[in-house]
Structure 1
Amino acid sequence: MSRPAAGHDSDGQGGRPAHAPVDVPSARSPTSSHRLPSLLAALCDRLPEDRIVALEYVLEAITDSGDPLLSRFIAAQPASGLAHQLNEITGVWQAEAPDMAGAGLALALATARSFPRPHPAQVVVSGPMGASVTARLTSGVAVDVIRSADTSLLIASFAAHGARDVVTEIARAVGRGVHVDLLLEESTQASAAFAALPHEVRVWHRVETSGVLHAKLIAADRHTAFLGSANLTDRALTDNIELGLVLRDPHIVEPLVDHFHWLLAPENNVMRIA
């Protein structure tokens, strides 16, 4: 077999000179040691959009991770575990990207916030919590989920008492045209906590039966649901040891909402208007 003529490339395509290899940076592997992107994504998963935007404003005003303005912002955060989470981000920022200005980190946060991606289930608690635990508190989550509703709210609780912030947020939802259904246990007089709400709110009790309505749920439209052990009482929202989850996957939330709509259907004789 004859060799290729001089001046030809090695694959025999005449007239095309061979090129020297070019140094191209290798792609970063999925196991890269850089932690900052994943920490920012986790923060976006935890906080509602308005809280992330507030942090972005602070970052845009500072030049580096040691700025006292950022320290004061972190120290002022009331949510349990949030200051620890933000301090971890600050430390990793200093270690991995010390030359990046605050505006660069703000842009990274805005990108993570705006990019559509599935949201993992989020742990919610009431009662005592360690400083490094990143779960959110029941009282704030209940208000945030109600606030996220555009068209409908479906709320179930065995007991209700006080919960002024929740009642206020429900009234605001009605004011912006959200359809509200409250499923409450009649034997606990739970409906009294919502007596001041507009007449458009529909209150439901279970029909006469040997069982009770014991579910605890706040579902916003068909995209977000908060469920757990806490009733809508002041103690359950703050002091009791309670546990719950926020779900933001419509594939899970939709059948959950459909189940409760089935319970409300008159032909099924499960719930009745109070």
Structure 2
Amino acid sequence: MNHEILVDTIAGIAADLPPAHISAWAAVLMSVDKPSAAVEAALINARPGFSTSTHARSLVQAWDATAHKLPGTAIAVALRSAALIQEQAASRRTDLVISGPISPSVSVRLTSSVVIEVIRAARNSLLIVSFAAYGVAEVIAELGAAAARGVRVDLVLEGSVGNGGTLRGPAGASAAFSQLTDSATFWHWPAHRRAAAAKSRSALHAKIIAADTAIALISSANLTDQALSTNLEVGVVIKDPMVTQRLVRHFEALMGEGAGVLERTSPGR
């Protein structure tokens, strides 16, 4: 028999139905021995909802056609396993994040709300990297709240041209966070550790917010009010701990005593 039909059907149901439906259906399947019209009806009645009748019919038909000798317990275990894999995959899924104009045909998340979400998710550490920064009063307040609950906050920010950076103007990006002087650690990339080509100097241009080693936002958006709201910016929020850990470890190495290219600084340098 071609079991692929049953496998595909179970995978599709696990992807479409919410967890409460999966649990209710597994309970029904654990108590039956074979596929039947009665089982189909029991599944529909266990947790009514949109498209449940279609899924119930598909499951019973695929079970009957390809693996009717399998007991209901086996189908229940397969369904719960598929649902668990779906849940784990969703928790690590990369989402699109944007600022500015919204496309009506694509579901996206707003940069401003994701920035706050990532900061609030931190329990031990926050890594903030930005080229430019100004305004963002809500972000500053959230960083202060994170520090107050014991989170270590590292701010890696570009400096002004006069202080070895590439930002034009009298102050570097750290000036926007001056009220966090006593609760965060500030880092800069000194001029003598940057490569230079002709009259150009390498820029600290990354824009990152990472909470612990669990979730990270990588975006084209600087930490400015305009970039987080009206500019046309695009980014991704990564929920894969393995990828986030590699990102954080990279910056930790850049901050390393002696070997790292970044140095501690104070606001306004």
How much has 1:196 moved relative to structure 2? 1.5
- Partner deviation per Cα, 1:86-114 (whole Å, 9 max, x = no partner): xxxxxx9434369xxxxxxxxxxxx98x9
Q: Which residue of 1 aligns with 2:177?
A: 194
Q: Deviations over 1:48-75 (max 9, x none)?
A: xxxxxxxx9xxxxxxxxxxxxxxxxxxx
Q: Which residue of 2 aligns with 1:182?
A: 155
Task: Please tell me whether the aligned partners of residues 36 and 96 of structure 1 are also in contact (alpha carbons under 8 angstroms).
Answer: no
Which residue number in structure 1 is paired with residue 9 of structure 2?
32
Q: Distance in 1 between matches of 2:17 and 2:182?
A: 43
Residue 15 of structure 2 aligns with an amino acid whose one-letter code is S
Query: Separation in 2 of the partners of 1:244 and 1:193?
Result: 22
Matched, 1:94 2:25: no
Q: Which runs of 4+ in 1 moved over 6 A?
A: 33-36
Tell me the SS of whatever aligns to 2:8: coil
**Equivalent in 156, 159, 176 of residue 132 of structure 2:** 159
RCO higher in structure (CA 8 A, sep ≥6) = 2
Asked if 1:253 corresponds to 2:244, the answer is: yes
Residues 143-189 of structure 1, C-alpha deviation per residue, up to 9 Å, x if partnerless?
10111000000110000111122111111100100000000001232
Per-residue deviation, residues 182-202 of structure 1 (Å, max 9, x unmatched): 000012321111111251201
2:262: which partner in 1? 271
Identity in percent: 39
Identify unmatched segments of 5+ residues in structure 2: 21-47, 55-82, 161-166, 195-200
Alignment equivalent of 1:128, drawn from 101, 106, 113: 101
Q: Normalised by the size of structure 1, how large is the TM-score?
A: 0.61
Would the aligned equivalents of 1:174 and 1:198 in 2 still touch at CA under 8 Å? no
**1:204 is the counterpart of 2:178:** no
Query: 2:152, 2:184 within 8 Å by CA — same for their partners in 1?
Result: yes
Note the residue ranges of structure 1 that are not aligned, 5 or more in a row.
Answer: 1-25, 45-55, 57-91, 99-110
1:120 is paired with a residue whose SS is coil
CA distance in 2, matches of 1:146, 1:161: 17
Contact map agreement 2:221 2:228 (CA 8 A) in 1:
yes
Task: State the distance in 2 between where 1:141 and 1:122 align.
Answer: 10
The answer to whether the Cα contact below 8 Å between 2:121 and 2:211 also exists between their aligned partners in 1 is yes
Q: Do the aligned partners of residues 160 and 39 (structure 1) sit closer, same or farther apart at CA in structure 2, a change above 3 Å counting?
A: farther
**Cα deviation, residue 40, structure 1:** 6.3
Please show how residues 166-177 of structure 1 align to structure 2 within 5 Å. Answer: 166-177=139-150
**Aligned equivalents of 2:17, 2:181: Cα separation in 1:** 40
Shift of 1:39: 4.8
Cα pair 1:123 1:136 within 8 Å, conserved? yes
Question: Does the alignment pair 1:223 with 2:214?
Answer: yes
| Cα distance in 2 for residues equivalent to 1:128 and 1:225 | 23
Contact preservation (8 Å) 1:226, 1:246: yes
Instruction: Check 1:265–1:164 CA distance in 2 against 1; reply closer, same or farther (3 A cut).
Output: same
What is the TM-score with the length of structure 2 in the denominator? 0.62
Q: Distance in 2 between matches of 1:196 and 1:178?
A: 16
Question: Alpha-carbon deviation of 1:115?
Answer: 5.4
CA–CA distance in structure 2, aligned partners of residues 218 and 153 of structure 1: 7
Q: Read off the aligned partner of 1:204 and give its amino acid letter.
A: W
Measure how far apart 1:269 and its partner are.
4.7
Q: Residue 143 of structure 1 corresponds to which residue in structure 2?
A: 116
Q: CA RMSD in A?
A: 3.1
